[in-house]
Chains A and B, each alone.
Chain A
Amino acid sequence: GEDVEQSLFLSVREGDSSVINCTYTDSSSTYLYWYKQEPGAGLQLLTYIFSNMDMKQDQRLTVLLNKKDKHLSLRIADTQTGDSAIYFCAELGGFQKLVFGTGTRLLVSP
């Protein structure tokens, strides 16, 4: 079955780069996503990557996909305190079934 794993916690200093990692198991996943959840809010799509790509850059965000190892990462450059949130990795497996990881809580200190 599908399984998506992430580390639970990451702490960085403001201005540093953050790298959040994710591993997934469904090799037939067509899309992989990063969602952000701020306190008291629902999930908001940050970025996504199609499975035939290995990198996608969107302003401060860089997504790397290693399909062979089923590893996805999200790099946030110049991390700001406003980036503090929970980041969820998700894969689109099956019929419209989004499978999420546990989420990584990113804490950015000044």
Chain B
Amino acid sequence: ETGVTQTPRHLVMGMTNKKSLKCEQHLGHNAMYWYKQSAKKPLELMFVYNFKEQTENNSVPSRFSPECPNSSHLFLHLHTLQPEDSALYLCASSLTGTAMNTEAFFGQGTRLTVV
């Protein structure tokens, strides 16, 4: 257990569906991240939130919509996805704003399949 929990672990959705991925951490971290992990490709950073404010959007299509209501919770809202969006979506959190090593703690991921 890393202290970062993602739900659901697996999700199958049609291209016309709307679903949401959830991530929560109670580590006292102030930064949260969404990463996409596809086969044989580097982990892709999608979004970064610091103190609930989005500080990075890595040219992610608008069919992915993040939401960070507080420093402990992060959502990824999905709508009209494509089959190529099928991947493992990983959430991570870290403590930022210090000169110390900023270890990122990862959740177990949501395995998304778009049919």
Interface residues of A (CB under 8 A from B): 4, 8, 31, 33, 35, 40-45, 48, 50, 88, 90, 92, 95-103
Verify B106–A43 contact, CB threshold 8 A. yes
Secondary structure type dominating chain A contacts: strand
Within 7-65 of B, Cβ neighbours of A (below 8 Å) are at 31, 33, 35, 40-43, 45, 48, 50, 55-56
Verify B45–A98 contact, CB threshold 8 A. yes
- Answer whether A43 and B90 are a contact pair too, CB < 8 Å, given A48-B101, A96-B48: yes
A residues in contact with B80, CB < 8 Å = none
- Answer whether A42 and B56 are a contact pair too, CB < 8 Å, given A96-B102, A97-B48: no
Least CB distance, A55 to chain B, in whole angstroms = 17
CA distance A13 to B79 in the complex (A): 46
Knowing that A97-B48, A103-B43 touch, tell me 4 more A-B residue pairs with CB under 8 angstroms.
A33-B103, A42-B107, A98-B33, A99-B42
The residue on A at minimum CB distance from B100 is A31
A residues in contact with B90, CB < 8 Å = 42-43
A residues in contact with B103, CB < 8 Å = 33, 45, 48
Residue of B2, B40, B45, B101 near A31 (CB, 8 A) is B101
A residues in contact with B42, CB < 8 Å = 4, 99-103
Which of A4, A31, A50, A98: most chain B Cβ within 10 A? A98
Verify A96–B107 contact, CB threshold 8 A. no
Within 87-115 of B, Cβ neighbours of A (below 8 Å) are at 90, 92, 94, 96, 101-109
Least CB distance, A27 to chain B, in whole angstroms = 19
The residue on A at minimum CB distance from B58 is A97
